[in-house]
């Protein structure tokens, strides 16, 4: 089995187009989506439609929850709350009632067999939270406690932090996909993960895909997106 995991599209449909084209060249058996589909990008509706057209397993992210019910005080820095709520309202206005219902009803975790001997547990941030942040610098004990609670799984995959990495310890593996639409690691390219297994053997690899960043910047501008500082994040591949 060969599985592509994608996450954190954030309404960047141009980057998602590039990733899906790249995946087509990799002969994967399945695509799994780990959330944050629409919010903070110039094409929330088209990004959502592209994901829905995959007809695959899709999980909810914190940004999907925000689209559904708004952003609560304490979930983002106080100085960012008003602007991000305005961004959320803009995104909500691009979607239909059916779109919002789809986001509301997404599950929050998924277990998938890679082989007859290997199982992957995947989620957006942690198995119990859409919002907790587990960074690449976390020690093994923290990874074990926050991410690796399912004893039957060998591989644990998540999104949310937009910082791709892979760690192996205690006979198991943890991987973050990075972000399709808004990478934070300083490389302005989309990021996703491929996991391939046979029997008890497996490989994992972060994939980086260039896309037309200038086009996305223009989309923010022509769409009258309420926070044009997002264009700097897109250009730089970092906050």
Q: Which two tokens stand for residue 168?
A: 């192996």
215-238 residue pLDDT tens:
999 999 999 999 999 999 999 999
173-206 residue pLDDT tens:
999 999 999 999 999 999 999 999 999 999 999 9
CB atoms within 10 A of CB 234: 27
Give me the DSSP letters along 100-141.
HHHHHT--SEEEEESSSS-EEEEESSBTTBSS----TT--HH
77-130 residue pLDDT tens:
999 999 999 999 999 999 999 999 999 999 999 999 999 999 999 999 999 999
In the block, residue with structure tokens 């302005």: 188
6-44 residue pLDDT tens:
999 999 999 999 999 999 999 999 999 999 999 999 999
Burial class (CB in 10 A: 0-12, 13-18, 19+), 141: exposed
Q: Which two tokens stand for residue 94?
A: 């691009």
pLDDT score at 220: 98
Instruction: Report angle CA 67, 69, 70 to the nearest 5 degrees.
Output: 70
Q: What's the predicted TM-score (pTM) here?
A: 0.97
Q: How many whole angstroms separate alpha carbon 126 and alpha carbon 234? A: 25
Question: What percentage of the chain has pLDDT greater than the value 90?
Answer: 100
pLDDT band at 60 (very low <50, low <70, confident <90, very high): very high
State the fold for domain 2-236. Answer: Purple Acid Phosphatase; chain A, domain 2 (3.60.21)
Instruction: With a cut of 90, say whether residue 239 has pLDDT above it.
Output: no
Q: Which residues contact 236 (CB under 8 A, 6 or more apart)?
A: 186, 188
Burial class (CB in 10 A: 0-12, 13-18, 19+), 172: middle
Q: How many whole angstroms separate alpha carbon 61 and alpha carbon 53? A: 18
Instruction: With a cut of 90, say whether residue 209 has pLDDT above it.
Output: yes
Helix (H, G, I), strand (E, B) or coil at 168: strand
Question: What H or E segment, with its residue span, contains residue 202?
Answer: strand 201-209
Q: Which residues contact 214 (CB under 8 A, 6 or more apart)?
A: none
pLDDT score at 45: 98
Q: How many secondary structure helices (H) and strands (E) does the chain include?
A: 8, 10
137-181 residue pLDDT tens:
999 999 999 999 999 999 999 999 999 999 999 999 999 999 999
Distance from the Cα of residue 27 to its chain's centroid: 21
pLDDT score at 191: 98
Contact 85, 70 (CB under 8 A): yes
pLDDT score at 216: 98
């Amino acid at each position: 089995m060969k599985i592509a995991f994608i996450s954190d599209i954030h309404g960047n449909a141009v980057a998602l187009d590039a990733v899906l084209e790249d995946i087509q060249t990799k002969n994967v058996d399945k695509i799994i989506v780990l959330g944050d589909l629409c919010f903070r990008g110039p094409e929330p509706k088209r990004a959502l439609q592209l994901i829905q057209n995959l007809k695959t397993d899709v999980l909810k992210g914190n940004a999907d929850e925000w689209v559904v019910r708004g952003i609560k005080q304490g979930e983002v820095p106080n100085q960012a709350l008003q602007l991000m709520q305005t961004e959320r309202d803009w995104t909500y206005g691009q979607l239909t009632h059916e779109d919002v219902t789809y986001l509301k009803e997404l599950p929050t975790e998924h277990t998938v067999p890679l082989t007859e001997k290997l199982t992957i547990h995947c989620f957006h941030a942690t198995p119990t939270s859409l919002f907790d942040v587990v960074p690449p610098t976390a020690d093994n004990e923290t990874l074990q406690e926050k991410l690796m609670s399912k004893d039957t799984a060998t591989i644990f995959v998540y999104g949310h932090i937009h910082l791709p990495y892979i760690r192996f310890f205690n006979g198991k593996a943890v991987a973050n996909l990075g972000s399709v639409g808004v990478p934070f690691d300083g490389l302005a390219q989309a990021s996703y993960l491929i996991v391939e297994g046979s029997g008890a053997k497996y490989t994992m690899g972060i994939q980086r895909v260039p896309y037309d960043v200038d086009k996305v910047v223009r989309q923010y501008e022509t769409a009258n997106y309420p926070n044009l500082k997002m264009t700097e994040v897109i250009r730089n591949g970092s906050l």
